[in-house]
């Protein structure tokens, strides 16, 4: 099997000061990519800032013989996204790969959620992916090449209690990715999205220790690195990934029923079973983020 390399490519990885982002950055660098390690250095809820986290990952890459620079801007503002891309241009002259990974959590039940819990979560996850990709987009188009990998979540695809804000943002990232794939196609720009299950600062109190040990970030990064490669031309796809397991996730629409124009409420009720059918086959439907994780564990065993 021919080894996949990223020689000559420049990659931006947001939220790369730890967890999944660090793992993505280190792996891409080990295969020859030059890396912009972006991290605001704040806490899990998005408060605070600092340079230490990004600097440590840059040093790790440099010590291993790679090339990397740090960036400390927040992805949640238009200016921050532009500055992150400018860092790549100033240091390496171009940008080829954008891995939108930065994220925060402000979990609270929907009944108790207030604007501060909604606003910043949307801005970091959904706006953040938009801001950084939008700043990179003209350069990807000009080079007639680009790879965008966005990060969704099982919570976004399937829902999760206490995460209405996070779920809304993460499903929005999926919709954004689909449109990027369509608009980028003629410029050789691919866009894909992952829904990872991995132990990180964001999930350390979610997974029990025996499960977290199996769901290391390093088990997600090979998929990211493949999607970022020249060899992969897949686009507009979503993947559930974790613990060595990868599965494509899709939105399905059944054959449906035609009720005719001017149909009544009662017609809808009478044909409900037909409208609900998604057809025969072996497709399995995932009903929640814990079921997603359960499928990963089943595959691992």
Residues carrying an active site annotation: 166
Phi and psi, residue 59, nearest 5°: -65, -40
* Other Cβ atoms closer than 10 A to 123: 20
Report the candidate in 220, 145, 223 with the shortest Cα–Cα distance to residue 184.
145
Query: What share of residues in the chain are helix, strand, coil (percent, to 5)?
Result: 45, 15, 40
CB 191 within 8 A of CB 177: yes
Instruction: Provide the 10 A C-beta neighbour count for residue 297.
Output: 15
Q: How many residues would you count in the chain?
A: 301
Query: Where does residue 189 fall: left (phi above 0), alpha (psi -120 to 50 degrees), or beta otherwise?
Result: beta
> What does R_g of the chain's alpha carbons equal in angstroms?
20
Query: Is 62 in a helix, a strand, or coil?
Result: helix
Residue 33 neighbours by CB under 8 Å, 6+ apart: 6, 7, 9, 10, 11, 96, 97, 228
């Amino acid at each position: 099997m021919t080894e996949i390399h990223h020689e000559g490519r420049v990659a931006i990885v947001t939220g790369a000061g730890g967890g999944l982002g660090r793992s993505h950055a280190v792996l891409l660098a080990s295969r020859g990519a030059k890396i912009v390690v972006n991290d605001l250095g704040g806490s899990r809820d998005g408060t605070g800032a600092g340079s230490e986290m990004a600097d440590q990952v840059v040093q790790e890459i440099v010590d291993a013989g790679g090339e990397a620079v740090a960036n400390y801007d927040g992805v949640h503002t238009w200016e921050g996204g532009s500055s992150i891309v400018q860092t790549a241009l100033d240091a390496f002259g171009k940008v080829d790969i954008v891995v939108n990974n930065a994220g925060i959590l402000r979990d609270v039940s929907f009944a108790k959620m207030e604007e501060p819990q909604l606003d910043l979560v949307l801005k970091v996850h959904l706006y953040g992916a938009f801001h950084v990709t939008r700043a990179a987009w003209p350069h990807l188009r000009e080079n007639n090449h680009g790879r965008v990998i966005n990060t969704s979540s099982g919570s976004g695809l399937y829902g999760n209690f206490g995460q209405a804000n996070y779920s809304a943002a993460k499903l929005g990232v999926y919709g954004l990715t689909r449109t990027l794939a369509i608009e980028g196609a003629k410029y050789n720009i691919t866009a894909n999205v992952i829904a990872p299950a991995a132990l990180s600062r964001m999930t350390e109190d979610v997974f029990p220790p025996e499960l977290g040990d199996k769901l290391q970030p390093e088990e997600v990064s090979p998929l990211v690195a493949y999607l970022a490669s020249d060899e992969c031309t897949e686009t507009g796809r979503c993947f559930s990934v974790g613990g060595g397991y990868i599965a494509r996730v899709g939105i399905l629409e059944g054959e449906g029923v035609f009720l005719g124009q001017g149909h009544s409420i009662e017609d809808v009720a009478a044909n409900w079973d037909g409208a609900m059918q998604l057809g025969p086959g072996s497709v399995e439907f995932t009903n929640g983020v814990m079921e997603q994780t359960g499928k990963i564990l089943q595959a691992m065993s």
